[in-house]
Chain A
Amino acid sequence: MSHNFVPLPDQPPPTASVGAIGWLRRNLFSSIGNTLLTLLSIYVLAVSLPPVINWAFIDADWVGVSRDACTSGGACWVFVSARFETFMYGFFPAEETWRINLIYGSLFLCMAPLFFDKFPYKVQLGAFVIFVFPIFGFILMFGGVFGLTPVETSQWGGMTLTLLLASVGCVAALPLGILLALGRQATNMPAVKSMCVLFIEFWRGVPLITVLFMSSVMLPLFLPEGVSFDKLLRALIGITLFQSAYMAEVVRGGLQAIPKGQYEAADALGLSYWKKMGLIVLPQAMKIVIPGIVNTFIALFKDTTLVIIVGLLEILGMVQNALNDPNWLGYSTEGYVFTAFMFWIFCFSMSRYSQALERKLHTGHKR
C-alpha cells in the first residue's frame, strides 16, 4: 500500500502584503517619513486639483462662436475652438489648408512604417522622408506650380510654422553638427579644426534671440537697396546654424566616450577615415548621445517661439495675436494653457520616442 504524499496547498500570502494594500504599504507608507510625505501630497492635491478641474472642465464653456457663449465663469474654450484654424494654419488661405493637411497625412503614412521593426525598406523610406519629402512639402506649401495658388511665406504661421521651424532645424542641424564635431576632433588638420572651434564657440556664445534679431533688423541694412531675403529663410538659417553648434558639442561628447581601442582597431583593419567614422565610431557614439540629441531637439522645439521677435507668428504668436482681438480680450489663460498643452504633446512624444530608441539600441552598455 503506497501512500501518495500530497503537500498541503500553499498558504496565501498575508493580505497586507499583496494586491492594492500591499502596493500601498510598500510604496506609499513604508516608513514614517514616507507616510508623512504621502499625506502631505494628498493634501496638496486635494486643495489644488478640484479648482483646476472645475475651471478647466466642469465650469468650462465648450460650444459657441463668440464670447457671449462664455457665461459660466470657467474656462472659455470657445476662444480656442473659434480660433483653432488660425492657431493651426496661421494666415494660410482657408481654401488651401488641405495642402497642409495633405503634408501631415502623407508624412504620417511615410513615418508610420519606420516604427515597425519588421518593415524591410526602412533605409530607403528614411532617405525618402529626409531628402525627397521636403521638396514635396515645399511645393505644396509654397505653390506656384502644378496649378497650385502661390502662398507666400509671410502667410505661413501657427502650429504649421512651429513644426516647420523645428523639423528643418533638427534635420539640417544634425548632419552639420556631426561634421563640426568631427572637424573639432581632427587634430591633424589644424585649419579645419580651428575653423570648427571658431564656428562652434561663436554660435554658442550668442543667444538665439540675438541671432534672430540680427538677421531681421541688422542684416537688411547691410544689403543693397531692394535686395531682401525672405524673413522665414533668414530665421531658418539662423536657427540651423545656432542649433548645429550645440549639436556638435553633443556629438563630440559621444565621440570622446568611445575608447581609443575602437579607433585603433579600425585603423588596424585598414579602414579609411570616413569608413572608420561611419562604420565603427559614429554608430556607437550616436547611440550614447541619443538623450543629449533629443534634449537639444526639445530645446529647439521650444525655442521656435522666439521667432516672434522677428514678427513671424508661430503658434504662440498666433495665440498672442488672437488675444489682442477686441472681441476676445481677457482670455489669455485659456490661450496660454492651450499652447502649453500643444507643446507638451510634442515634447513628451519626442521624449518617449527617444527612450524607446535607447531601449532598442542598448546592445552593449546596458546599465
Chain B
Amino acid sequence: MKILRISVLTAVATAGMALVGSAHAGTTFDAVKKKGFVQCGVSTGLPGFSATDDKGAWKGIDVDACRAVAAALFGDANKVKYTPLNAKERFTALQSGEVDMLPRNTTWTYTRDTSLGLNFAGVNYYDGQGFMVTKKLGVKSAKELSGAQVCIQAGTTTELNLADYFRANKMEYKAITYDSSDETVKAFESGRCDMLTSDQSQLYALRIKLADPSSAIVLPEIISKEPLGPVVRQGDDEWFNLVRWSLFAQLNAEEAGITMKNVDEMMKSADPNVRRILGVEGVKGEFLGVDDKWAYNIIKQVGNYGEMFERNVGQGSALKISRGQNALWNKGGIQYAPPIR
C-alpha cells in the first residue's frame, strides 16, 4: 500500500498543481446539498475499512465516515454513493471533483496536506507499523528479535521503517520481500520467516488468513505513525467543517456515553453536555449549515466512535483489533475531540 502512496505523490503533485486552489470556495457543500448525496471515495477493498458484504453493500470504518456526513447533512446515512478508488488515482479523483470526500485509509503527512491542495479533516484511525510473530517463539517484545527473518510486503516505507527500527536498536535482521499479502502470509505460515511486518490494522487481517490464527500474536510495538483520516479538497471550509465535526460528534458522543441504543433517552437527559451535543440546547446546527439534530442523526444511524470501531474492526468484527491508540484520551488512547459548545 505504501509504495503506492509514495509514487502517487510524484505523479499527482506535478499535474495537480495547476488545479490547486482554483474556484472551489463553498462550492462542494452547496453542490453536495443540491445533488442530495455524498460521493464517497473508498478503497477497492481493505478489511475493516472498506469492503463489501455478501449483498454487495459497502461496510467499514472508512465507509462509516461518509455515512456519518450524510446523516448530518441529509438526516439519512444511506444517501452515499461509493467510488472504489485505487491508491494511485485517489487524489486525482478528489481534486477533479469525482468524489466529495476521501476516507480511504490515507496517511496524513506533511507533503500530502500541503502540496496536493487537500485537507485532512481529522483522524478516524491511528495506525502504525507493527510486528506479528508466531507464539512458538515465545517473544514478548520486538526488542528480543535480533537476527530474525522478517517477511515484508514490497513497499518502500515499510522496509525503511523496519531498517530504521532495527538499526536504532542495534539489531540484525534478514528481510524476505513478497509481492502480495497472500504470499506473505503463506511464507509466514510455512516458517520461512520468524515475523511479519505491516501496518497494524493489516496485521490483524493477515492473521485471520492463517490456518490457525491463534498461533500468532501481534506485538505491542508500533514503529511508525500512520494517522488515517478523511480528506477533502482545499477551499471549501464549510464542507471541511462538516466532515471534521461529523467525526468529532462521534467522539464526543462516546465520551458522553451516548450510544445508538440510548440516544433517544439521552435527548431527555439533564446533562448540559449531552444536551448540547444532541442539539437540544445551546449551539445549533446552523453554524454547520445543517439541521439542529445533526449529531443525533449521526449517533442514531452510524453510532458513536466506539460503536463504529468495535463493529468494523474491533470485537464485533472478525478482526478483533483492540482499541489501543484509538481509545479515547481519558481511557488511555489518543482520540481526542474538541468539545461541542
Residues of chain A whose beta carbon lies under 8 Å from any beta carbon of chain B: 65, 82-83, 85-86, 89-91, 94, 152, 154, 213, 216-218, 220-221, 223, 225-226, 228, 231, 308-311, 313, 317, 320-327, 329-330, 332
27 interchain pairs, CB-CB under 8 A: A82-B54, A85-B55, A86-B52, A152-B81, A154-B83, A217-B11, A220-B98, A228-B96, A308-B44, A308-B86, A309-B86, A309-B88, A311-B85, A320-B44, A321-B44, A322-B45, A322-B52, A325-B52, A326-B51, A326-B205, A326-B317, A327-B54, A329-B205, A329-B209, A330-B208, A330-B210, A332-B209
Q: By the criterion CB–CB under 8 Å, are B44 and A326 in contact?
A: no
A220 to B19, CA, bound (A): 10
Q: Does B47 lie at the interface of the complex (its beta carbon under 8 Å from any beta carbon of A)? A: yes
A325 to B52, CA, bound (A): 6
Q: By the criterion CB–CB under 8 Å, are B46 and A221 in contact?
A: no
With contacts A217-B92, A221-B96, A313-B44 known, is A324 near B51, CB below 8 A?
yes
Interface residues of B in 1-26 (CB under 8 A from A): 11-12, 15-16, 18-19, 22-23
Q: How would residues 82 to 95 of chain B score, 1 for a CB under 8 Å from any chain A CB and 0 otherwise?
A: 11111011001101
Q: By the criterion CB–CB under 8 Å, are B209 and A330 in contact?
A: yes
A226 to B28, CA, bound (A): 11
Q: By the criterion CB–CB under 8 Å, are A221 and B44 in contact?
A: no
Interface residues of B in 25-66 (CB under 8 A from A): 44-48, 51-56, 59
- Looking at the complex, which one of B95, B210, B318 makes contact with A221 (CB distance below 8 Å)? B95
A225 to B44, CA, bound (A): 25
- Tell which of A152, A225, A317, A330 has the most Cβ of chain B within 10 Å: A330
- Looking at the complex, which one of A83, A220, A327 makes contact with B92 (CB distance below 8 Å)? A220
Q: By the criterion CB–CB under 8 Å, are B205 and A310 in contact?
A: no
A105 to B166, CA, bound (A): 61
Say how far A312's CB is from chain B's closest CB, in angstroms: 8
- Looking at the complex, which one of A91, A228, A324, A330 makes contact with B97 (CB distance below 8 Å)? A228
**Across-interface contacts of B83 in A (CB, < 8 A):** 154, 231, 311
**Across-interface contacts of B53 in A (CB, < 8 A):** 325, 327
A326 to B16, CA, bound (A): 35
A60 to B237, CA, bound (A): 55
Q: By the criterion CB–CB under 8 Å, are B23 and A225 in contact?
A: yes
Q: By the criterion CB–CB under 8 Å, are A85 and B89 in contact?
A: no
Q: Does B182 lie at the interface of the complex (its beta carbon under 8 Å from any beta carbon of A)? A: yes
Closest to B49 in A: A324
Say how far B213's CB is from chain A's closest CB, in angstroms: 9
- Tell which of A82, A154, A326 has the most Cβ of chain B within 10 Å: A326
Q: A-side binding surface: helix, strand, loop or mixed?
A: helix
Q: By the criterion CB–CB under 8 Å, are B96 and A329 in contact?
A: no
Q: Does B327 lie at the interface of the complex (its beta carbon under 8 Å from any beta carbon of A)? A: no
- Tell which of B23, B83, B98 has the most Cβ of chain A within 10 Å: B98
List 18 extra interface pairs beyond A65-B54, A225-B96, A322-B52, CB under 8 A.
A86-B56, A154-B82, A218-B15, A220-B92, A220-B93, A220-B96, A221-B92, A225-B97, A228-B96, A309-B88, A310-B89, A324-B46, A324-B47, A324-B205, A325-B53, A326-B318, A327-B53, A329-B318
Say how far B32's CB is from chain A's closest CB, in angstroms: 13
Closest to A157 in B: B56
Q: By the criterion CB–CB under 8 Å, are A321 and B84 in contact?
A: yes
Q: By the criterion CB–CB under 8 Å, are B93 and A313 in contact?
A: no
- Tell which of B54, B98, B319 has the most Cβ of chain A within 10 Å: B54
A327 to B81, CA, bound (A): 23
**Across-interface contacts of A323 in B (CB, < 8 A):** 45
A317 to B317, CA, bound (A): 23
**Across-interface contacts of A220 in B (CB, < 8 A):** 92-93, 95-96, 98
Closest to B85 in A: A311
A226 to B84, CA, bound (A): 19
Across the A-B interface, give the 5 residue pairs with the lowest CB-CB distance, nearest first.
Answer: A324-B45, A220-B96, A321-B45, A330-B209, A329-B208
**Across-interface contacts of A213 in B (CB, < 8 A):** 88-89
A327 to B89, CA, bound (A): 27
**Across-interface contacts of B55 in A (CB, < 8 A):** 85-86, 94
A325 to B49, CA, bound (A): 9
**Across-interface contacts of A327 in B (CB, < 8 A):** 53-54, 318
Q: By the criterion CB–CB under 8 Å, are A217 and B89 in contact?
A: yes
A94 to B55, CA, bound (A): 8
Closest to B89 in A: A217
Q: By the criterion CB–CB under 8 Å, are A325 and B86 in contact?
A: no
Closest to B312 in A: A326
Say how far B3's CB is from chain A's closest CB, in angstroms: 15
Say how far A347's CB is from chain B's closest CB, in angstroms: 24
**Across-interface contacts of B59 in A (CB, < 8 A):** 325
**Across-interface contacts of B319 in A (CB, < 8 A):** 326
A223 to B317, CA, bound (A): 42
Say how far A263's CB is from chain B's closest CB, in angstroms: 48
